[in-house]
Amino acid sequence: MPAFIGIDIGTTGAKTLAIDETGASLASATAEYPLHTPHPGWAEQSPADWWRATVETLRVVLATVPAKDVAAVSFSGQMHGSVFLDRNGEVIRECLLWCDQRTAPQCEEILDRLGQDRLTEMTANTALAGFTSPKVLWLKEEEPDNYARLSTLLLPKDYVRFRLTGEVAQEMSDAAGTLMFDVRRRRWSAEFMAAMDLDDAMLPPVYESTDKAGAVTAAAAKETGLAEGTPVVAGGADNTCGATGTGVVRPGLALVSTGTSGVVFSPTAQPAPDPAQRIHCFCHSAPNVWYQMGCMLSAGGSYRWYRDALCEPEVAEAKAKGVDPYEILTAEAADAPLGCEGLLFLPYLTGERSPHGDPNARGVWFGISLRHGRAHLSRSILEGVSFGLRDSLEVMRELGTQIDQVRATGGGARSPLWRQIQADVLGVPLCTVNTSEGPAFGAALMAAVGAGAFDSLEQAAGATVKVVDRTEPIPANVKRYEEYYGLFRELYPGLKGSFAKDAALAEG
C-alpha cells in the first residue's frame, strides 16, 4: 500500500508523518529547534535548523516506511516568515517569524501610502507586523546591504521544499498571508509591489496546495533517505493544513485550534474580508475556497511561557512521574472555580493580532489578590485564551458567517478541562475528530491528492476524518462566563494607551 508523507515546519519544531490511504498513521517523528529573540519583540529562526530537523525526522520515519513505498511528500508550515535568499539560493539572514513585532513602522508606512481601502482591494487584509511584506520593507530600510543581495523570497515550508527539490515555489494558502497577494484573484499583486517600490521578481511561481511542485533531487535523497524522483506536492499553510486534517474544508464548518498561536478558522465560498480588518481573509488549500481567520499570537504559547517561567516544581513533579507537565498544571487548574474568583488573564505576551492588531499589547493578570494561588493562575490562562478565541468568533458572527459545527484541535482539544472551558466560553458544542496528528496530517492528505489517491481534499478528508466526541456547553457556565467575558472585553481598550507607553519605555 502506498504511503504519503506530510512534514510540518512549526514554530517549535518539525514533525514528519507517514499515513496510508485510510489515514492510518504508519510512522511519525518530531525534532525541536530554537527560537531566537535578539531584542524585545523580535523573533527569528535559522532555516538551517528547519532542514536539519526535517532530515532527522525523515530518517526516523523511513526506518519504518520503505522509501520505495512513498508515493508523495507534502508540507505544512508556519505562516508569514521571511526567508531571504541570494541569487545562489543561500540564506542571507535568519528568518523573521510570524510573531516578530519589529515592523510596526513599516506597517504604518504601507497604510500611509496606500490607505486601508486600497490595501483591502489589493490584498483583502490590513498591514500587521507579523505579515511578510513589512518584513521585506524592514530589510530594505534597516539592512540595505542584505536587501541588495535579495533575489528570492520564500516562506518557511517553501524553503524546506526548495532544499528537497531545488525548485523555488510558493502556494496559494501561504502566499495569501504575505500581504503581497491578491487573495480574491489568487495571484501575486503586481499593483501592491509597484506601489511599495518592491521588485516582484523576488516572488516565485505560485501553485495550488495539491499541485506537484517538484521532485526529490539526488542530493536530497542521499541526505534524507527518500527515493530520488519522489513527487513533492506544494502543501499549505499550517492553518489550512490543520483545517484539512480535521475535515474543515467546506463552508459551514469551523475550526478552533490552540497551538502556540490560537486560531478560529471558517471556510467561505467567496472571499469575505472584514471591513474593519479585525480578522483575516485568506485562500484555503481547497481550490476556489477561502476562509476567515482570527489569530491570537500567544494561546498555547502563554501556557508554555507559564510552564517554563513559573512552574519549576510542577515540571520537576511531572519528570519524576514520567508525565507531561501540562497534565500537572491542568489538574491544578481544575481545582480553581470558574472565573478564578475574579482573576483574568490577557494573553498578549507577544502583542496581538485578532481582533486588536496591536504589537504593543502585553500579557496582564488582572484582579490578583491574596486569595489567589497556583491553581487560579493556571486556570486563568486557560480561560483567558478561550476569551481571546471568542473575540474572533464574535467577529465572524457579526459578519454573518454561517457556522453549523465547530471542531477543535491542538492542546486545548486534548485536555477535557480546556475543551469544556472553550465550549462554555464560546457557547457552542465542540467536536473532536479521530485524527490528532495536527497540520502534518493535512499535509499528508495533500500529498495523497497530489499523488492521485483522491480527487480532492474534500474527498480525502471525508474518507479519513470522523467526529468521535462532542463537548456540550453547560448552560450555567455559559451564563457565568458571559459576565466574565464582558469584563475581559473592557480591559484591552482601557490599557491600550498604557501598552504603547510601556513599549516606548522598554525600547529605552
Are 354 and 280 in contact, with CB atoms under 8 Å apart?
yes
DSSP bridge partners of 283: 290
**Active site residue ranges:** 238
* β pairing state of 236-237 and 70-77: parallel
Percent helix, percent strand, percent coil in the chain, to nearest 5:
45, 20, 35
CA-wise closest residue to 333 among 322, 321, 345, 346: 345
Which cell is 100 given? 516578530
What residues have CB less than 8 Å from 373, skipping those under 6 apart? none
* Residue 178 φ then ψ, to 5°: -90, -15
CA-wise closest residue to 218 among 233, 230, 201: 230
Which contiguous run of DSSP H or E holds residue 111?
helix 104-114
The DSSP string of 273-297 is --TT-SSEEEE-SSTT-EEEEEEES
Q: Angle between the 457-464 and 439-450 helix axes, to the nearest 10 degrees? A: 120
- Coil, helix or strand at residue 391: helix
In whole angstroms, how far apart are CA 316 and each of 279, 336, 380, 382, 414? 39, 22, 22, 21, 22
